[in-house]
Structure 1
């Protein structure tokens, strides 16, 4: 089971802030769900990053959450010798899913979202 830890997430936030040069004069609003490592009292949010927590049980605010089950199908009940191997399997699964427009639309579009004039409406 994947154990996501606040100390690791702190490193990710620090790297994110450094990469995008976030600070006093360059600010980012980061919308996140309410996972435990997102709400921990031990979370160290770099200057310039402002976290907005989305309401719990609101997949319409983060429609990509509904894609996890179809991406995870490729890795369920398997073990991998390396992260590169895992990444390759997920990459191949995402290539397949990128052509499954109706499936993705059905999982991520909501009837109240505005539609576009393009042939494929991308809702994530």
Structure 2
């Protein structure tokens, strides 16, 4: 988590501040997390997948590429997951539509 936050902090424009929404996984809120000064962590309330767009991304991947399969091995699972992720990242418009919340923006 610390390495991830450091990478994000390095991409925040000088003088800007990032707010990261995250679920309440133990590693997100641990006392050992070193939050850079240009980042604020904003934990979502517990048990609210409707507020966590990443939950919808995972559900889309399961529904379309990963469910109802028998995997032959651990490596086969990893290969299928990587393939699904690569398919999705090749479709940025789909990621935006999955994560879109009408109530979160003004038109």
| TM-score when normalising by structure 1 | 0.55
* Alpha carbons 1:31, 1:53 under 8 Å: kept: yes
Among 7, 22, 26, the residue aligned to 1:15:
7
* SS, match of residue 41 in structure 2: strand
User: Which consecutive unaligned segments of at least 5 residues does structure 2 have?
Assistant: none
Indicate the structure (1 or 2) with the bigger Cα radius of gyration. 1
Following superposition, the deviation at residue 68 of structure 1 comes to 1.6
Q: C-alpha offsets along residues 52-75 of structure 1, whole Å, 9 cap, x if unaligned?
A: 111011122123313424414528
Bigger proportion of residues as helix: 2
TM-score by length of 2: 0.62
Q: Give the Cα separation in 1 of the matches to 2:13 and 2:32.
A: 23
Aligned length: 92
> Which structure 1 residue ranges, 5 or more long, are not aligned?
1-8, 115-124
Q: How does 1:1-124 map to 2 (within 5 A)?
A: 9-21=1-13, 25-72=15-62, 74=66, 77=71, 78-80=73-75, 86-92=81-87, 94=88, 98=94, 113=102
Whole-Å Cα distance in 2 between the matches of residues 63 and 71 of structure 1? 13
Question: Runs in 1 of length 4+ with deviation above 6 angstroms?
Answer: none
